[in-house]
Homo-oligomer: A and B are copies of this chain.
């Protein structure tokens, strides 16, 4: 296709006055509909008692037994190692980071009173993770990722530095590449011996219950078990939530950790709230119930997600061969698209045509993609029709800019 044709197409899309927002990894309304029956579970006739706990009243800071059991199953750790919280796992991460900053971990020196603070950031990664460590003044260090996960050689080297305090990880369907950490990578994580005692792996396993787009389980090695084998179980905080299972923002989240870490966290948590929303915990525990029930439910999500990812990936294959590269995730919420040197320009030009993408650079610490290459594609929220249009716009824009 020559420049003339591209320009013609550009004018055509411009005339459509599009307004398509693909910036965030939100489930579509169709996906949300899947969980509507959950809203009938706790009603005025429900006995809201779990064991001896009246879920309607104050109590049970750690969560109700039924919800703890559910999340222990989801996170594959013992029930006594879980704390079930409110709607946001991001909030638990923030809370743990704040605790580290302000009062320290297990009696150690608070981060805010230590000279220098560094944090390891596998890239590309989740912008909200990076925003948090940036806000608290950590020097963030880029760790390249490949199809197996982050570069473990680099990590093993960096953790010899006692000012390195932690690492962000999304081990399954990693945001935004969609890759799954290999067993080997996870085994090496569990063997880390950081110089700093208060180094923690923030294991954001938010997609742990997601199935592949074909509706199949893609198990990820259990990091907690691996840590136990190595006596490193204090090294990791495991996070999960129902955000991508039921209603994002109105779900339930949980953290799984060693009993040391749990005690340390509860000692802090007890001052900030009496308990979390136990009625919502009950609602979720009754709806998601157990692993077979979750799988049945997640298959429905997968069926909705599959054609969306296929649409984008097929168009990329057809249109961008030789011009761009991209990941081909088997599950999750994102695709990573690489257009070296022109990512910012692509996102800006798409915006001109009414297609909003995640800001270029946002998958990197400080918003700085060293190669100005990466664009996070979030195909989930928009309708299939809009998605196709938006992807065509994106491909067109890339072809226009690449040909310059």
Contact = CB atoms under 8 A, between A and B. Distances in A.
Interface of A: 24, 26-27, 29, 32, 35-40, 42-44, 46, 54-59, 86-88, 90-91, 94-95, 98, 101-102, 110, 112, 128, 131-132, 135-136, 243, 247-250, 271-280
Contacts of A136: 102
Contact of A58 (B42, B94, B248, B273): B248
Contacts of A38: 44
Contacts of A110: 112
B271 A94 contact: yes
A86 B24 CA distance: 22
26 contacts: A24-B58, A26-B58, A27-B57, A35-B56, A38-B44, A39-B43, A56-B250, A57-B249, A58-B249, A59-B249, A86-B87, A86-B277, A88-B272, A88-B273, A88-B274, A91-B273, A94-B272, A98-B98, A102-B102, A110-B112, A128-B271, A131-B271, A249-B278, A250-B278, A250-B279, A250-B280
Nearest to A133: B271
A39 B44 contact: yes
Contact of A274 (B32, B90, B101): B90
Contacts of A44: 36-40
Contact of A32 (B56, B98, B101, B243): B56
A37 B44 CA distance: 5
A366 to B, nearest CB: 14
Contacts of A132: 271-272
A58 B273 CA distance: 23
Interface of A is mostly: loop
Nearest to A249: B275
A248 B277 contact: no
Contacts of A278: 249-250
Q: What 10 A-B pairs are tightest by C-beta distance, nearest first?
A: A94-B272, A36-B44, A250-B279, A88-B273, A249-B275, A32-B56, A56-B247, A91-B273, A250-B277, A58-B248
Contacts of A279: 39, 247, 250
A101 B29 CA distance: 40
Contact of A91 (B248, B249, B272): B272
Given A58-B249, A87-B276, 18 more contacts: A29-B57, A38-B44, A56-B247, A57-B248, A57-B249, A90-B272, A94-B271, A94-B273, A98-B98, A101-B102, A112-B112, A128-B274, A132-B271, A247-B279, A249-B276, A249-B278, A250-B277, A277-B277
Contacts of A39: 42-44, 46, 279
Contacts of A43: 39-40, 43
A29 B54 CA distance: 8
Contacts of A273: 87-88, 90-91, 94
Given A112-B102, A277-B249, A279-B250, A271 B57 contact: no
A32 B54 contact: yes
